[in-house]
Amino acid sequence: MKNENTRRACLQVGLLGIIAFSAGGCTTPSSKPITGEAEFKQHCIACHANGGNSINPAKTLLKADREKNGMHTSKDLIGVMRKPGPGMTAFDEKTLSEQDAEKIADYILNTYK
Ligand code: HEC
């Protein structure tokens, strides 16, 4: 008898866990813990601190330089990450998912004006 009660309790906890988990899953897109800023700091800041460019000072991430070099949209920026010019690390989709690349591009567009 006692054994059966314990089993039922376990089952209930298990079900609650699944419900809590799926409810949590529903809210993740709006509350992603990893931001574009964090991704930028992890992958880009070594050469682009403060939106500058420590290797090629004519190609900073500031709007004036970006626009001069034909980079207007997040698509343009992702293009550079995938196929950069000389001196910059290339970021393929294994290193940087499309989603993360988009986050970084948005961060750059919103931060370095
Ligand atoms: C190892 C140093 C290095 C790292 C790391 C790096 N970059 Fe660059 N980046 C460069 C260099 C050098 C250039 C200029 C390349 C050229 O001559 O086209 C550049 C150019 C750019 C440009 C074009 C800017 C312009 O005004 O033309 C963008 C946008 C850019 N990087 C974004 C990024 C992003 C986003 C990351 C991180 C995901 C990153 N870079 C990581 C060195 C780096």
Position 11 scores a pLDDT of 55
Position 34 scores a pLDDT of 85
109 lines ligand 1 (CB under 6 A): no
> What does the pLDDT look like over 56-77, one tens digit per residue?
999 999 999 999 999 999 999 9
Please state the atom number of ligand 1 nearest to the C-alpha of residue 96. 38
> What does the pLDDT look like over 23-59, one tens digit per residue?
555 455 555 468 999 999 999 999 999 999 999 999 9
Instruction: Write down the pTM of the prediction.
Output: 0.79
Q: How far is CA 68 from CA 23, 38, 51, 59, in A?
A: 46, 27, 15, 9
61 lines ligand 1 (CB under 6 A): yes
Q: Which tokens in the block code for residue 29?
A: 């897109």
Residue 9 exposed, middle or buried by CB count within 10 Å (0-12, 13-18, 19+): exposed
Nearest to 35 by CA among 113, 106, 103: 103
Nearest CA to ligand 1 atom 29: 77
Q: Which tokens in the block code for residue 56?
A: 């090629």
Nearest CA to ligand 1 atom 17: 85
